[in-house]
Structure 1
Amino acid sequence: MEELSPLLRLTPLVRRRIYCFVGVASWDPLAPHKFDLHGRDTGVTEQPKASTFHGLLLSCRVIYTEAAALLYSANRFVLHYAHAHAHVAGPGLSEPPEPLAPLFALTAASLASLTSLTIVLNQASCHHHFGFAGYYSSCCLDRNDTGPGLVASWLCERHHAGAHRLPLLAPPSPVEPKGDGDDTDTDTNSDNDAQYAAAQLLLAVWHSAAARLSHITSGRLDLGLVCDIDPQHERALEVARSVITPLTLIPRLRDLYIRLCKTIDPRLQRVAQDAVSQVLRIPAAPYSRPPTRTTLTSLPRELRLRILEYTDLITPSREVTWSRQDRGYVIFYRDSEQSAPDRKYRQQFSPCLSSQLARTFIGCFCRRRHTAFSRTCTCWAPPGPALFLVCRSLCQDAQLTFFSGNHFIIHDYKADPSWEVPFLGRWETDHQGPAPRYDYPSERFAASQFLREVIPRHCLAYLHFLELVFPPYLPHSWPRAGQPAMQDWLATVDWLQDKINAPGLTIRLVGADVSCFSPDVYKTTITIADAEAITRSYEELWGSLKPLADNGLARFYAHFPCPWQFFGTSRNYLKRWKWLKAQRQVLKERAERLVMGDRYEELYANGREEPHESFWTWTHYAQA
C-alpha cells in the first residue's frame, strides 16, 4: 500500500497556509492574485509567479485536486485572445490550435472552481489588469490637445506593451485618396468584407469557448467580456449581438461585466445593458397602464421641471466638470462634510473605480468611459439622447434643468489621474536649474471651447454658475495680452454679451495652485520678474471679464495663488504660510474689485457668503 504523502497528513488548515505561502492563493481574501491563463506576466510585483508553485501541482493527483480547487476559486484570471499569437515563431514552432486554448486545457473540476474570469477578445485601450497601472481609469494612450500624459504614457509603455489592438471591424490603416479611374467603392467593400470575415473567425472561437464554460458552477462565476468594436462599421450592431449571443450557453453567473467599445456608443450600450439583464435574469420593472391618458408632456411645465430634477440631469453634487483633455463631462465626490443621509445618497453614485479597487480591480467596465455595462458601475454619466429626442418641448425642459440646475467647472486637467496637468513641453523629472520657458500651449482657452462648441447656443442663457479654472503654469506660460488664446477669449466674451443671462450668472475664476503631485518643474524658484509676469497675466484674465460685469453679471469671485510663494529659497512655502494666505486674500479682493467695480460691496452684503469651494477643487488639491 502506497504511503500517504507527509503533506496530506497535515490538517486542512495547515495545508491551506502552506498553499498560501507558496503563492497558490493570497493571504488576504479581499486582495486575490491575478493570473494570465496564457502565462504572461501581469506585472504585479507583490504577488508570486505561477512558476513558484507549479511543481507542487505536479507532485501528486490528490494534492493537485486540492490545490487546484483553491487556485481557481481564490484568484482572478484573465484570458486574452491576442496572446495566443504573441509568442516568438521559429523552426518547429506553430501557432496554438486554439487562441483560447488555456480554457480548454482546464479540467472540469477546475472550471467548476472558477470564481473570476475576464475574457478579452479584443481591446482598443488598456484594460488595466497589469500591475498598479490599473489605477488609471481612462486609456493611457488617449491623445489630447496638449499631448499624452507623461506618467500614464510611461506606465503604458512599461506594462501594456503589445496589449493594444485596433477595434474589431476597424480598417487596418487610414484610407488613402484614390486617383482618377480607381474603383474606391469596390476596394472599400472588399476591406469591409475582410474585416467582417476576421470578426466572424474570432466569434467562432468565442462561441466554442462559451460552450466550454458550460462546466462552471451555477451562480459562482464573475465573468468579464471585452470586445471593443468599431462603432462606425455598418455591421457593428450585428457583430455586437453576436458577441453576447454565446452567453446564453453558460450557466447562471454570479455577475457579468460587458464592454463592447472603447468609446461611448448608445446603440452598443443598449446591447450590453440588455445582455447583462438577460443573462443575470434581472426582472424588468412591471408595467401598469396609467389610469388616465396623462403623460409627462401634458403636465404643466413647472411640474415637468420639478420631475426632471429627480433624474440624472441633476448630479448628486449639483456640479458638473468639463475637461478639455477628456472632452467630456465628469463629476467629483467628497463625502467628508456631508450629513449622514446625504452621504448615503451620494455613495450610490461613487466612482466605480473606487468601489472596484476596494475589492480588487478586474478591468474597466465603466459606462462613462466606454460602451460597457456592469452592475458595479454607479458613475454618473451625462443623460443619453433618448430623453432629448422624445419631443421638442421635453428636450428644452431637459436642457433647462441640466444647465441651470448644476454648477459647471471648466478646466484643462484630466479627469483621471486628477492631478495630471496639461503637457507644456518635454522636461525631465530630475530637472535642475531655472524652469524652461514655454508659451501658453493652446490657441484657445478651455472655457472658450466649452462655451462656443459644447453648450448649445440657446442654452447659454440657462447657466447660473460657471467656474473657469487655469492649471498651474510656468511663469511665462500664463496667457498674456496679445497672444492668440487671449485674443480669442476677448472675442468670446464679446460674443457672449447678448447670449447669457448676466444678472442670473455667477462666475468664479480660479488659478489652481500646485500640489504635492505636481511635477517639480512647477515648483522651481522664480525671480521677481517671473512673479511680476504672472501677476500681469492674472490682471489680463481678470480684466477680460469686466465687460460681463458691466452688462449686469450677478456675482464674480476669484481665487489665485500668490506668485511669490516660490520666490527666494525654494520649498519655504510652509514657513511663509500666514503671509502667503494674506497675499492670496489681497489678490482676491483686488480681482473682484477690478471686475465688479462699485458693486463689489454687494458681493457680501446682508451676510452673503461666497458659494462653497467646488468638489473638484478638493479632489485635485488645487487650493492650499
Structure 2
Amino acid sequence: MTSLSIYLNVVEKDEWGGEVFGPDSFPYCHEMCFVSKMDRAFRKERHWDETVSVKEWQRLCKILRPNIKPNRLKLFLTCDVADIELSDEFLQPLLQTPTLQLRECSIRLASGFLKPGNTGYHTPGSLQELAALARLNVQQAAEQLATNRSTQSFFRYGDLPKEIRFQILEHTELVSPFDLAWTSNQPEALAYQPHKSQFYEHRTFQYGTYGPAICCQKCSPRTDACACFLRHGAFSTTCTCWTMPTHFFLVDHQMKDDAENGRRYLRSLSLDHVSGQDVYHLPDSRGMEQWQECLSIINDEMNPRQLSLTIDLGFDKSSVYYSYGGDYKFVPDICYTREAEKVWTVGKVLADSLVGHVQLKNLFFHFMWPFEDHEEGIPTDRGLVLEKMVMGENYESTDRGKNERRHRWNGYQCDKDEGCPVCS
C-alpha cells in the first residue's frame, strides 16, 4: 500500500445548518469539497456513528504501524471538528510510539468553506490555530522536524555579502510564483474567507477577474477534500500554495531592509478597478491619496524606467446588471453607459496624475465594457487615448504586447462578447 485516504466525517443533511458558499460563488478545487459542506463536524456531544469512526481510526493506526514500510505511505486524513479540543483525540493515534514514518501526509481539522451560523464554522483565528496544529503533526508524521539541532550549524545572515544575501532570497517565498493584485478587502469580508489577505490577492484562478484563489490542488488528491492551509484548518507536505512571507520582515533589520529593497526589481505592476467604486480614485478621495503614495514609492523605491504599469478599469455587463437590478429586473442601457463614463472619468484622473510625474517603460490602459468605441464598425481602443496622453503620440502599446499580456494573465476573464481582441 502506497496511498491511503481517510475521511471520518459523516454526511447527514438533517444535521447541517446555516448557509455555505455555493458552486457559483466559490470555486471548489477538489471533488469532495462541494459535498463536504453538508458534513457533520465532530462535536463534544458524540453521535454513535462518530464514536465508531474514532474507534476504527484508532484500530487502523495500530494495524498500519507494524505493517507499513517507512517513507512509503502517502496518508491523507480529513476529520473536521467543531471543537478544537477534540483534535488531539484524532491526532494521538497517528503519533503514538513507534511513529508512522510517512512519505507524504495531509491533515485537515476544519473546513474554511462555511459561513457564520453553521455548526462547523470556525473564525479565522480558530482556523489558523487548527492549521498550526495540523502542520506540527504532519511534520512529525513525515519526520520533517529536526530532532537534534546544533547551534554550530547557525550562521549570521547579516555578515554575508549583499550579492550572496540576494541570491539566498531568490530561492525563498519572497519571490511569488504568480501575479499579486493589491486589494482593500474589508475586515468583514475576511471573516469567513481566511484565504484572503487585507492587502493583496494572488491570482491563480480562471473563473473571473475578482474572486477567491483556487489552491494549488497538490495538497491532496483531486478526489479528496482540500487540505490547503490558506483556506482550511489544515496542512499538507505537498501543498505549494503561496502566502505573503511576512516572517522575512521580522528576522532582523538587515533581512527587513533586504526584503523591502526588492521593490526596485519589480518590472510589472497592475492596478485593478472594481465596478461600483467609481469615486475611489477621484480627487480628494482616500483612494487618490493611496494612489499618490503608490506613485511616490514607484519614483523613490523602484526603477520606473524599467516598469510596465497596467491600469485595468475593465468591468463586464453582468456586474452592472447586478449593481443596478438583478433578479431578472430590466436595467436600462443608460445605466451601462453611465457606468462606462464614470470609469472613463476615473481613467482620465489617473492619467493626469502620471503626466510629468512618472517616466515609465510601458503603460497599458484597459476598458472592458464598452471596451471600445465603434466608428463605422471599426473598433477603437479607448485606452490608447490615455496612453498617448502620458507616453507621447508615438507610443504604440499594442506593439509592446498590451493585449497579449492581459489575455495571458490568468486573473482576467476573456469573453468574445465583451470585446477581448485576442479571443475575438
* TM-score category of the 2 structures, normalised to the smaller one: 0.5 to 0.7
Does the Cα contact within 8 Å between 1:269 and 1:371 map onto a contact in 2?
A: yes
**Which of structures 1 and 2 has the larger relative contact order (alpha carbons within 8 angstroms, sep 6+)?**
2
Relative to structure 1, the CA distance from residue 620 to residue 529 in structure 2 (aligned partners, 3 Å threshold; closer, same or farther) is closer
**Aligned equivalents of 1:240 and 1:284: distance in 2?**
24
Q: Show the 5 A alignment for 1:501-520.
A: 501-503=297-299, 504=304, 506-512=308-314, 514=316
Q: Retained in 1: the 8 A contact 2:81–2:87?
A: no
Taking only aligned residues, the RMSD between alpha carbons, in angstroms, comes to 5.4
Q: Distance in 2 between matches of 1:364 and 1:386?
A: 25
CA shift, 1:616, in A, is 4.0
1:561 alignment partner, SS class: coil
Report the Cα offset of residue 239 of structure 1. Answer: 6.0
- Inter-CA distance 310–241: structure 2 relative to 1 (3 Å threshold): same
The correspondence for 1:315, drawn from 132, 155, 176, is 176
- Counterpart check, 1:468 vs 2:272: yes
* Residue 374 (str. 1) matches residue 236 (str. 2): yes
Deviations 1:375-433 (A, max 9, x none): 332222222x43332123322432443x55567xxxxxxxxxxxxxxxxxxxxxxxxxx
**Residue 212 of structure 1 pairs with residue 212 of structure 2:** no
Query: Judging changes above 3 Å, is the alpha-carbon distance between structure 1 residues 615 and 275 closer, same or farther for their aligned structure 2 residues?
Result: farther
Q: Which has the larger share of helix?
A: 1
Percent identity over the alignment is 17
For residue 163 of structure 1, the aligned residue among 39, 46, 56 is 39
Quote how far apart the aligned CAs of 1:315 are: 1.5
Q: Show the counterpart of 2:392.
A: 600
Distance 1:202 1:305, change over 3 A: farther
Q: CA deviation at 1:285?
A: 10
Match of 2:353 among 518, 527, 548: 548
Q: In structure 1, the residue corresponding to 2:8 is in which secondary structure? A: strand
Equivalent residue number for residue 222 of structure 1: 75
Q: Deviations over 1:162-202 (max 9, x none)?
A: 5365x97xxxxxxxxxxxxxxxxxxxxxxxxxxxx769x99
Taking a change above 3 Å as real, the CA distance of residues 306 and 494 of structure 1, as seen in their structure-2 partners, is same
The letter of the residue matching 1:163 is D
Corresponding residue number in structure 2 for 1:449:
none
Greater mean alpha carbon deviation, residues 269-278 or residues 495-504: 495-504
Q: Return the match for 2:287 from 489, 492, 495.
A: 492
From the superposition, tell whether residues 126 and 242 of structure 1 become closer, same or farther in structure 2 (CA, over 3 Å). Answer: farther
Amino acid at match of 1:218: I
Residue 74 of structure 2 contacts residue 103 of structure 2 at CA under 8 Å; is this kept in 1? yes
Letter in 2 for 1:136: Y
Matched residue type, 1:320: L
Change (3 A) 1:513 1:74: same
8 Å Cα contact 1:137/1:353 also seen in 2: yes
CA–CA distance in structure 2, aligned partners of residues 283 and 479 of structure 1: 47
Q: CA deviation at 1:258?
A: 0.9
Q: What are the equivalent positions in structure 2 for 1:441-452 lying under 5 Å apart? A: none
AA partner of residue 613 (structure 1): R
Structure 2 counterpart SS, 1:313: coil
Equivalent residue number for residue 364 of structure 2: 557
Counterpart residue identity of residue 225, structure 1: T
Which amino acid in structure 1 is aligned with residue 94 of structure 2?
L
* 1: CA distance, partners of 2:247 / 2:91: 23
Equivalenced residue count is 360
**Displacement, 1:590?**
1.6
**Are the aligned partners of 1:252 and 1:279 in contact in 2 as well (CA < 8 Å)?**
yes
Distance 1:304 1:123, change over 3 A: farther
> By how many angstroms is 1:80 displaced?
1.8
Larger radius of gyration: 1
Q: CA deviation at 1:548?
A: 2.8
Alpha-carbon offset, residue 537 of structure 1: 1.5
Corresponding residue number in structure 2 for 1:424 = none
Structure 1 CA distance for aligned equivalents of residues 90 and 76 of structure 2: 14
Once residues 379 and 330 of structure 1 are traced to their aligned partners in structure 2, the CA distance between those partners, rounded to angstroms, is 10
Shift of 1:465: 1.6
Alignment partner, residue 330 of structure 1 = 202
The 8 Å contact of residues 535 and 563 in structure 1, kept in 2 or not, is answered as yes
CA distance 1:486–1:396, change in 2 (3 Å): same
Q: Does the Cα contact within 8 Å between 2:8 and 2:53 map onto a contact in 1?
A: no
CA distance in 2, matches of 1:588, 1:330: 25
How far did residue 487 of structure 1 move?
Answer: 5.2
TM-score (norm 1): 0.45
Any stretches of 5+ residues in structure 1 without a counterpart? 1-71, 88-121, 139-154, 169-196, 231-235, 335-349, 408-463, 568-575
2:228 is aligned with 1:363: no
1-side partners of 2:352 and 2:25: how far apart?
46
Q: What does the per-residue CA deviation read over 1:564-604, in whole Å, with 9 as the maximum and x for residues that have no partner?
A: 88x9xxxxxxxx99946x32x2x01123244x2xx434755
1:407-460 deviation digits (Å, cap 9, x = unpaired): 7xxxxxxxxxxxxxxxxxxxxxxxxxxxxxxxxxxxxxxxxxxxxxxxxxxxxx
Residue 469 of structure 1: CA displacement?
A: 3.8
Distance 1:222-1:306 versus aligned 2 partners, 3 A rule: closer
Contact 2:107 2:234 in 1 (8 A): yes
